[in-house]
Each structure stands twice: as structure tokens, then as C-alpha cells.
Structure 1
Amino acid sequence: MSATSFYPVLMSDDVAAAVAFYRDELSFEITYESDWYTSLRLGTFELAILAHDHETIPEGYRTTPRGVIVNLEVDNVDEVYD
């Protein structure tokens, strides 16, 4: 096997708002965008946001995530917060 990518996909009930947060507040770049799925990149890090109720998600799993923690570590948290 030769893997070409490995990244988390977070389900959301508002893809546009979630994407806006990662793009506007954390400087992620959009690498692919549709109304139900968006791929983002920050340097070598990747993340995707997916509409939790999209038809590609098996019906029993169409819910927003619970118990998920996403860590983003930065050099100067106060600067990022400001």
C-alpha cells in the first residue's frame, strides 16, 4: 500500500460556518469546496469539513460528532487569540 494522504474529516451542521472559522481565524487554505464538503490545508496539515446529514454518510451515522477533540498547537497562543 502507498498512502497519499491521511487527515480528519469533521462532520458539521453548518459547513460554511465551520470552514469560515478555520479559514478566517486560523488561516487554513481551501483546497476543495462544495456546499457539503470542504478540504482545508494549513502548511502540511489537512482537515475536511463534511455536512453531517449528507447522503454519502450511512443513515445511522448522520449526526454531529460528540466527544471529539481537535488540538491545534501554535508558537504564541496570545497572538493567535488577539
Structure 2
Amino acid sequence: IMAILPDPPTSPRRSHRLAEPRQERLARWRFDVMIAATALVARMPLIHNNAADLEPIRAAVECSPGRFPNLGPLDLIRCSSLG
């Protein structure tokens, strides 16, 4: 997944008019990729409070099925849909 999407596709988070530093954004992206890869391999749905952050990963897996043989689509569930 990191080979397909090496850079975070989401914009930096902002709080109190300060943009998230590039290194923090990259670390957050790598963590999201590891969590998504774990859910994909374990064939578990991924419940996330901001599933939009993971949509590029889901799209990459669906667009490149040859790179992910025998793995289904990444099943993203928004926390808000559970309540």
C-alpha cells in the first residue's frame, strides 16, 4: 500500500490556525496505512471516526486487485453509522 500511495493524500490538519507539520502528517498517514493493511489481511471491517482519511487506500486496493490477490475490498465503516 505504501508503494502505491507513498504520500498522504489528505490535507494537513489545522488547529488554532496552525497547520500540522509535514512529519506529523506523514507519521499519521503511515499509521493509517498499517491499520488498513492489518484490517485487509485479517478480513475485518475497519471502523474509523474519519473514514474519509482511508478512502484513498480503499480505492487503491480496488483499482489494483492484482497487487492484492485473494484479499477482498477494504470494508470501511464510519463510527457515526453505528449509533
Q: TM (normalized to structure 1)?
A: 0.27
Point out the structure with the larger strand share.
1
Q: TM (normalized to structure 2)?
A: 0.27
Point out the structure with the larger helix share.
2
